[in-house]
Amino acid sequence: MNDPLVALLDQLEHALAADAGVALLLTDTEDVLQVRATSGGVPASGAGRWVARLATGVGLWGGRSSIERVDPDAPGIGSQLLLAVPDGRSSLLVMARRSREMFSAQDRALARLYARQVAAELGATHARVVADERTTTSPRPATPAASVTSTGGAALPGSATSAASATSRGTATSPRSATSPGAAASTASAAAAPAATSAEGPGPTWTHDLRTIQSIAAQLTRLTTAARIGEVICRETRRVVPADSCRVYVLARDGVTLEPVAWAHFMPQYADEDADTIRLRLGQGITGSAVEAGEGIIVSDASRHPAAIPVPGTELIEEAMLVAPLRYEGMPRGAIVLSRVGRVGFGQDELRLVQVLADQAVVAFENARSLADRDRAVQELEALLRISNAGSMEQDEAQLSELVARTIQRSIGVDAVAVSRLGESSPARLDLLAQEGSLPGTVDRSEVDLTTSTQVRQALIDGQPRLLHARVDRGDAGDLGALRRLGVRQCLVLPLVAASRTIGLLELYLVQDDRVLTEHEVALVRTMGGQAAASLQNVRLLTQLREAADIDQLTGVHNHRYLQERLTQEVARSSRSRTPLSVMLVDLDGFKTINDQHGHADGDRVLQNVAATLRMAVRTNDIVARYGGDEFVVVMPDTALDAARHVADRVVAGVRGLRHQLSDGSEGRVACSAGLAVAPDDGRTAQKLLRAADAAMYRAKRGGGDSVLRAESGRTTITAPRPARS
């Protein structure tokens, strides 16, 4: 009879293209590695050299489950893969190639499958030897195979116990039963209970199923998203392991949540499944426990499992389950979960097949995760670049704030983001600049003063972020009141600090409790916030500089340069829209006397008072500018002659009624003469309008002053409807 171990090694040699051979090494009673079996590629005469050449490799073992190396001194051997056999005896499988081509992740996964088969055969051989010894030394009725169990409670290889009824630690959430920690004690560990291998080695069905698994694995390597990988697993796994339901879980970035990335049902009992009902946490339920333990398991009836947790809105049903954990470099990554309605259980060979697929799938998932990480890094860099570029291009603080809020909201995926500016008044107030995303509260964000929160005030002082939470045990009265009125459960506040000075606040709102911002997300927000603060400060400084360039420093109204720019724009707009435009030029009467008799300081005070009177006499969208010396110009868009005359009369009366306190304690008084010009009758350009208004003003001054005259060039009055004036 052929040695089944040799048959397994021959198949492994062929499957891995290990053309230099495969060897199985076992430790003897003195803990020395000895050759137990070799594939046909290793001559019997060379078996001794395997042990000698492996001495160095074994020294590198260090408790790892596999080692890959290149041995430059081994004749005829290029790369080697050393793999631990899970038989509890420190056995090794050694696979060698003549070339230096390293073994792929798929090769290693396949080798682990054969290592389990080798462990099963070694266990079966050991069981037969023990049974023979018992029969020889103490004849008695044979013990039924079903009662022969290992120390872990699992059926031994070769026993008649149904694999579907074996149970072990850890389980998976059933479609109708999620599970909890503690499920451990009643399901059989696949690693501890390998199925028996016949003396002739694996049969044709096993080989066909293995090839199908390899074909599925090849499909997975071409996919780039976790959802697509999960879909293929759900669809293709039934080709080798029939099931009524398939679910694929991936451990989320928080390291706790087992997120269902794909699920499929083939029986109506599972039709109500969705992501929310089958989502789990690591260590929770059959699936969570299995993933945490890292052991594949079979459950004969999940509905009777002590750790079962009913899914809300469903009833428990009798079903068998199979869970194959996904592990990468010894760390949990997720699981493949199969279920069958009724008590048609799963076998150990089926678990091994799904575990092989899981070993391949986890590599695909890691590749997809790496691609997603790369894409996310690119998107984050693009977001930072967008904010940085906007800081150098945007000239409006509100528009820049809108871009910052929109960029952060889309990058982090929170419900809403707000950008506030810290006012310079005392006590400090946060003025809302922009908000992206809606809040479900009873009030708008602009109606809430966040400075009532102790934590917000502290954040503004020390420049450190704070997480506000709408829970009594985690927030003060200010937090609770503000968050509840806004309809949110959480708010991350991040001070905007530029040049070591807090200039505003970045606010990230979360409506639900279950959304947790990761450390990476908080770090990204801080980076974006730092960039946004610098950009906002630059825009603010540019605005201040621009305003300083447009404002007359003595009177606080616009200067001559700004007047020329705006008047030219308003004339063009008036021409396009065919709306009236009035210009008033004002010159003070008696101002030279105050300057000559009381000095320029008192003269400056008079100019400031007159400028203030002009601003109060006109609308906010009218333009008041100092034309030069004691002359002022008022540009009144959308204003016809009659309305402009009312304004001019109000200005003349207001200036006449002013009492100016002079430095010697006396009071001074001045009057003014004003000239009006209306486009297009009195001119179609800025210069013509100013000349017409100036001529009218001088006629008024020659007539005694303290009056208003219309430009003589105007023959008609524009009768277009005019807006009401204040």
pLDDT (tens digit per residue) in 72-85? 556 667 888 888 88
What's residue 682's pLDDT? 93
Span of 101-110, 242-251, 555-564 with lowest mean pLDDT: 101-110
Q: Which residues contact 222 (CB under 8 A, 6 or more apart)?
A: none
What's residue 315's pLDDT? 67
**Percentage of residues of the chain with pLDDT beyond 70:** 78
What DSSP letter does each residue of 644-699 carry, written as one string? Answer: HHHHHHHHHHHHHT--EEPTTS-EE--EEEEEEEEETTT-SSHHHHHHHHHHHHHH
What's residue 677's pLDDT? 96
What's residue 143's pLDDT? 29
User: Mean pLDDT for the chain?
Assistant: 79
Q: Are 119 and 97 in contact (CB under 8 A)?
A: no
* Best-predicted range by mean pLDDT (192-206, 316-330, 421-435): 316-330
Q: Are 395 and 543 in contact (CB under 8 A)?
A: yes
pLDDT higher at 3 or 103: 103
Mean pLDDT along residues 181-200? 34
pLDDT at 185 > cutoff 50:
no
What would the pLDDT profile of 501-537 be if each residue is shown by its tens digit? Answer: 899 999 999 998 778 888 888 988 999 999 889 888 8
* Best-predicted range by mean pLDDT (145-149, 478-482, 620-624): 620-624
Q: How far is CA 428 from CA 111, 421, 434, 521, in A?
A: 68, 10, 18, 29
What's residue 480's pLDDT? 73
pLDDT higher at 12 or 147: 12
What's residue 569's pLDDT? 94
SS percent in the chain: helix, strand, coil, step 5: 45, 20, 35
pLDDT at 135 > cutoff 80:
no
* Best-predicted range by mean pLDDT (10-14, 401-405, 584-588): 584-588
What's residue 716's pLDDT? 35
Mean pLDDT along residues 581-594? 94
136 confidence band (pLDDT: 50, 70, 90): low
* DSSP-derived pairing of the beta strands 79-84 and 21-27: unpaired
> Which residues pair with residue 676 across a beta bridge?
584, 710
pLDDT at 689 > cutoff 50:
yes
Q: Decide: helix, strand or coil at residue 147.
A: helix
